[in-house]
Structure 1
Amino acid sequence: MDALDVARWQFGVTTVYHFLFVPLTIGLSVLVAILQTLWHRTGNERYLKLTKFYGKLFLINFAMGVVTGIVQEFQFGMNWSDYSRFVGDIFGAPLAIEALVAFFLESTFIGLWIFGWDRLTKRLHLATIWAAAIGTNLSAYFILAANSFMQNPVGYRLNPETGRAELTDFLAVLTNKVALVTFPHTLAGAFLVAGSLVVAVGLYHVIRNRDSADSSAYRFATKFGSWVVLVSSALVLITGDIQGKIMTQVQPMKMAAAEGLYTTESPASFSVLTIGSLDGSREVFALKIPYLLSYLGTGDPNGTVHGIDDLQAQYASQYGAGSYTPIIPVTYWSFRFMIAFGLAAAAIALLVLWTHRKGRTPTSKWLLRAGLIMPLLPLAANSFGWIFTEMGRQPWIVFGEMLTRDGVSRTVSLTEVLTSFTAFTLIYAILAVIEVKLLLRYAKSGVPDLTDLTDPTDDSDDAERPLAFAY
C-alpha cells in the first residue's frame, strides 16, 4: 500500500458519504416546494403541516450535506495537487459559478424561508423555497459539468510549456454531451431517493398511527411519495438508456467492463448474472438477455460492442504500454446493483399504492418493514451508480489525458494521508450518527401542531414577534 492507494480510498469514502446527502437535498427541496404550493393554492392545512414536517427533514439533511461537502475541496489540494494544477483552469469556472451563484442562491433563500414564516406574505414566502430548490439543482449542474470533463474532455487545449489543460470554450464545457445526459439522470435518481423518504415516513405514521387526526395528511404523503418514486424510476431508466449510448461513444471500455465483455460481439447479450473467474475472463454459468447489450450501447439490437481485449490493444497502441482495464468485478456488479436497488424501490412503491387503493389503510408489518428500508435502496443505487461511473473510467482521472497515478500529490507521505483519512472517517462516523438520530427523532414526532400559527400578513405586534425557526 502506498500514498496513492490511500488517497484513492479516502476520496472514494468521503465522496460516497457526501453523496448520501446530495440526492436527498436535491429531490426534497422540490418536493417541499410542491407541498407548499399545494397549500398556497388550496389553503388545506394538511399541506402546510406536511411542508413544515418534511421541510425540517430537508434542512437537517441540507446542513449535513454542506458540512461533508467542504472536505472535498481540501482533498483536491492535499492529496491531488498535480491533478488540481492540470484541471484548475477548467474546473475554476463552473465550480466558481456553483459557489458564487447556485450555492449562495440556495443558502440565502433557505434562510429567508426558515425565518420568513411570520414575516413574509404567503406568495413571497413560497417564492423563497422555489428559489432555494432552483439553486440546489443549478448547483448540481455545474458540479456535474466539471465531472463530465473528466469523462469526456472538451473545450480545452493542452499547454505544452506548463503541461496544463487551458479553457478555450466554456460553453462547450457546460454543454458537454455527457453533462447534458448525466444531469437529468442524476436528478431522476435524486427524486427517487426523496420520494422514498416521503413514503417511508408517511407509511410509518399511516400504519402506526391509524387513528391520528392527521391520518389524511400521512396517507396523502405516502401516495404522493409513491408516485414520485414510480415516475422518477421511469425517468431513471429512460435517461440511463441514453447515458449508456453516450458512454459507449466516449468511453467504450466502460461499457465493455460493465458486462465483462472481453471479445467484440455483434450482437452482444447482457448478462443478468454470471458465475466465473473473479476478473470475468472465464465464464462457468451466465443468465443472458440476447441483443440487450447491443441495444443499450448502440441503439441497434444488432450493433457491435467492442470487447476489453480489443480496446486494451487499441489504448496501448494509442497511449503507450500499460493496463487500461478497470477492475472488472467492481464495474460488473456495481452496474447491476445500481439497477437492482432502484427497481426494488419502485416495486415497494407500487405495492404501497396497491395497499392504499379505494381508500384502504394498510396494516401489514411486512409492508412497514419494507417501507422503512425503502430510502436505503435508492441511496445504494445512487452510490453504486457513481462507483461504476468513476471506477469504470480507471485508470484515467481525466479520460485520455491524465492517469490517476499522475494526479496524486507527490510530496504527501503515506503517513500524512493515513492520518487525514482516519480523521475524516471518524468525523464522518460521528456525523452519520447525528444525522440518523435527528432524522429519526423528527420523523417519529409527526406533523406539527398549527394552533399557534400566525397570519404572515398581520403586522400587529411585529416588534414582539421573535425571528425564529418556525416549526
Structure 2
Amino acid sequence: MDVLDLSRWQFGITTVYHFLFVPLTIGLSAVVAGLQTAWHRTGRQEYLRLTRFWGRLFLINFAMGVVTGIVQEFQFGMNWSAYSRFVGDVFGAPLAMEGLVAFFLESTFLGLWIFGWDRLPKRVHLATIWLAAVGTTLSAYFILAANSWMQHPVGYRIHDGRAELTDIWAVLTNSTTLVTFPHVLFGAFLTVGAFVLGISAWFLLRGRDVDLFRRSARLALVVSLAAGIGVAVSGHWQAQIMTRQQPMKMAAAEALWEDETSAGFSLFAVGDVENGRNHVNLQIPYGLSLLSTDTPHGRVEGINDIQARYQALYGPGDYRPVVGLAYWSFRLMIGFGALSALLALAGLWLTRRGRVPAGRWAHRAAIAGIGLPFLANSLGWIFTEMGRQPWTVFGVMRTSAAVSPGADVTSVAITLAGFTLVYAVLAAIEVRLLLKFIRIGPHEPEADAEPAAPALAY
C-alpha cells in the first residue's frame, strides 16, 4: 500500500468512527430537550427522571464525539495538505462557521445546562438545552455544506492554481446540501429512536421502572417510524440529485453498465467489472428509473457510457469507483434502515392500546435493533465517499492529487495504527460508561425532589 491508500484508510476509519457519535448526539439533544419541556409544562416527575437519565447518556456521547472529531480536522493538514492548499479558501469557510458559531453555541449552552439546574430559573434552564440542540443541528449543517461542496462544487473560481470562494451563499445553499441535511437529520432520529427503544426494552425485560420505560419505549417507536419515513423520502430526493450530479455513483450503486431506459432496481447482481457486464442481475422492473427520474420510463446512464464520456471530458483514466463496494454498501444501507423502521412499525402494533408484548422476544429484538441505524449510517457514508472516487472534489481535483507531498508510508502507517488503537480504547471507555449509567438507571422521585445538580453527578 502507498501513502495515498494508507491516508484514505486512516481518514475513513476516523470518519466512520466519529460519525457513530454524531447522529446519536443530534437525536438525543432533541429528545432530552423535549422531555424537559414536558416536565416544565406538566410538572410530572417521570419526565424529569427521564430527562436526567437520557441527559447523562447524551453528555457521555457528546464528549466522545468532540474528542474524535478534532482528529479529523488535523488530518487535512497532515495527510491532505495539497487538498487544503487548493481548496482551503472555500472548504474552510463552512468549517470556520461550524467552529465559531455552531460549536460555540452548543458547548456554551450545554455547559449552562449541566451546571445550571439549581442556579438558573426553570425557563432559562430549559432554553439552554434547546439552544444546545439548535447548535448541534447547525454544526451538522455547516459540516454537511463543506462535504456537499466536495460532491458538487459551487460558488468558487480557479485563480492561480487554487480554488477561491466567490459566493458563500451558494456554498451554504448548495442543492446537494439541501437534500443531504434532512436525510442525515432523519437518520439521526432513526438512530436515537432505536437507541432509546433498545435501552427501554432492557429495563422492561428486567421489570425495572416498567411504567417509566413503557412511556419511553412508546415515544421511541413513534420517533423511529416517523424518522424511517423521512429517511426514505429524503433518500429518494438525494438519489435524484445524485443521478444528475454524479451519474457514475448511481450507476455503480446499481451495477448498471450501459445506458438504459425503463431501468430496473437491482436486488442481487454478479458482475464482471473487467468486461463491464453482469452475469446475474435480479431486478424490480422500472425501479431504478422511478427512483432516479420519477418516471418508470426514465433514462439512466450506465458505467461504460459515463466512463467514455469522462475520458473525453477529463482526459485518460479510470473514473469508476469500486463497483462491488458501491453496490453492496448502497443495498445494505437501505436494508438496515428499512429493517429499523419496520421494527418500529411492528412495535407500535404490538403495543397498541396499552398492550404489552407477550414473551421476551420483542424486547430482545428491540435491544438487538440498536445497531441497525448505526450500520445504515456508516454504510451510507462509505457509499457517499467511496462512490465519489477517484475525485476528492468532483470534477475538479482527484484524490491522488490531494495527498500531502511530504507524507511517507512509515509515518502514515504508524499514525494509522496509533489512531486505530486509541479509538479502540475510546470505544471500550464509551461502552463501559454507557453501560454503567444505564445499569444505575433513573433515580427515584425522592432524589429528584432535592435541589438539582449537574446531570452526571447522579
- TM-score (norm. length: structure 1): 0.94
Which residue is 1:72 aligned to?
A: 72
Structure 2 SS opposite 1:283: strand
Distance 2:21 2:143 in 1: 15
Asked if the contact 1:279/1:329 (under 8 Å) is kept, the reply is no
Distance, in Å, in 1 between the alignment partners of 2:246 and 2:60 is 38
Deviation at 1:298, TM superposition (A): 1.4
Query: Structure 2: which amino acid aligns with 1:193?
Result: T
Q: Is the 8 A contact 1:312 1:324 kept in 2?
A: yes
1:380 corresponds to 2:375: yes
Describe the shift of the 1:284–1:310 C-alpha distance in structure 2 as closer, same or farther (beyond 3 A).
Answer: closer
Deviation (angstroms), 1:454: 5.2
Deviation at 1:467, TM superposition (A): 7.0
Aligned residues: 458
Shift in alpha-carbon separation, 1:377–1:340, aligned structure 2, 3 A = same
> In the alignment, which residue of structure 1 is the partner of 2:206?
208
Taking a change above 3 Å as real, the CA distance of residues 328 and 466 of structure 1, as seen in their structure-2 partners, is closer
Q: In the TM superposition, what is the alpha-carbon distance from 1:87 to its structure 2 partner?
A: 1.1
Match of 1:460 in 2: none
Give the equivalent residue in structure 1 for 2:324. 329
Say yes or no: does 1:410 pair with 2:408.
Answer: no
Query: What's the offset of the Cα at 1:346?
Result: 1.3
Q: Distance in 2 between matches of 1:344 and 1:29?
A: 24
Aligned to 1:45: 45
Q: Would you say the 8 A contact 2:98–2:143 is kept in 1? A: yes
In structure 2, the partner of 1:148 is 148
Q: Which residue in 2 is equivalent to 1:192?
A: 190
Q: Structure 1 residues 135, 198: closer, same or farther in 2, change over 3 A?
A: same
- SS, match of residue 451 in structure 1: helix
The gaps in structure 1 that reach 5 residues or longer are 457-464
Name the SS for the 1:430 alignment partner. helix
What is the rounded CA distance, in whole Å, between the counterparts of 1:276 and 1:292 in structure 2? 19
Name the amino acid aligned to 2:391: W
Structure 1 residues 178 and 54 mapped into 2: Cα distance closer, same or farther (>3 Å)? same
Q: Match for residue 32 of structure 2?
A: 32
User: How far apart, in 1, do the equivalents of 2:357 and 2:274 lie?
Assistant: 46
User: In 2 relative to 1, CA 9–200 (structure 1 residues): closer, same or farther, beyond 3 Å?
Assistant: same
Note the C-alpha offset of 1:279.
Answer: 6.8
The aligned counterpart of 1:369 is 364
Corresponding letter in the other structure for 1:321 = P
Residue of structure 1 in register with 2:107 after alignment: 107
Equivalent residue number for residue 16 of structure 2: 16
Aligned counterpart, 1:233: 228
Aligned to 2:177: 179
- The answer to whether the aligner puts 1:88 opposite 2:88 as a matched pair is yes
- Per-residue deviation at 1:358? 2.8
* Aligned ranges 1:349-368 → 2 under 5 Å: 349-368=344-363
The CA deviation at 1:451 is 1.5
Please state how far the C-alpha of 1:128 moved relative to its aligned partner: 0.6
**Which residue identity lines up with residue 242 of structure 1 in the other structure?**
W
Q: Distance in 2 between matches of 1:155 and 1:374?
A: 42
Give secondary structure in 2 for the equivalent of 1:287: strand
**Residues 1:318 and 2:313 aligned together:** yes
Is the 8 Å Cα contact of residues 49 and 442 (structure 2) preserved in structure 1?
Answer: yes
Q: 1:121 to 1:367 in 2, by over 3 A?
A: same
Match of 1:306 among 291, 301, 307: 301
Q: Output one character per residue of 1:193-235: Cα deviation in whole Å (capped at 9) or x when no partner.
A: 01111100111111211xx4x3211001001001101000000
Q: Which residue of 2 aligns with 1:116?
A: 116
Q: 8 Å contact 2:118–2:453 — kept in the other structure?
A: no
| Partner Cα distance (2:358, 2:259) in 1 | 52
8 Å CA contact 1:202, 1:219 repeated in 2? yes
Query: Is the CA contact 2:117–2:454 (under 8 Å) kept in the aligned structure 1?
Result: no
| Superposition deviation, residue 18 in structure 1 | 0.3
Structure 2 unaligned segments of length 5 or more: list them.
Answer: none
Compute the RMSD of aligned alpha carbons: 1.6
SS in 1 for 2:261: coil
Pair 468,297 (structure 1): closer, same or farther in 2 beyond 3 Å: closer
Between stretches 15-24 and 356-365, larger displacement belongs to 356-365
Contact 2:388 2:394 in 1 (8 A): yes
The superposition leaves residues 31-70 of structure 1 with CA deviations (integer Å, 9 ceiling, x where unpaired) of 1111111111111111111111111111100000000001
Counterpart AA for 1:29: S
Q: What letter matches 2:185 in structure 1?
A: L
1:446 and 2:444 matched? no
Write the distance in 1 (CA, Å) between the matches of 2:443 and 2:233.
38
Task: Specify the alignment match of 1:459 in structure 2.
Answer: none
- How far the C-alpha of 1:376 sits from its partner, in A, is 0.7
Match of 1:247 in 2: 242
Instruction: Name the CA shift for 1:454/1:120 in 2 (closer, same or farther; >3 Å).
Output: farther
Letter in 2 for 1:167: L
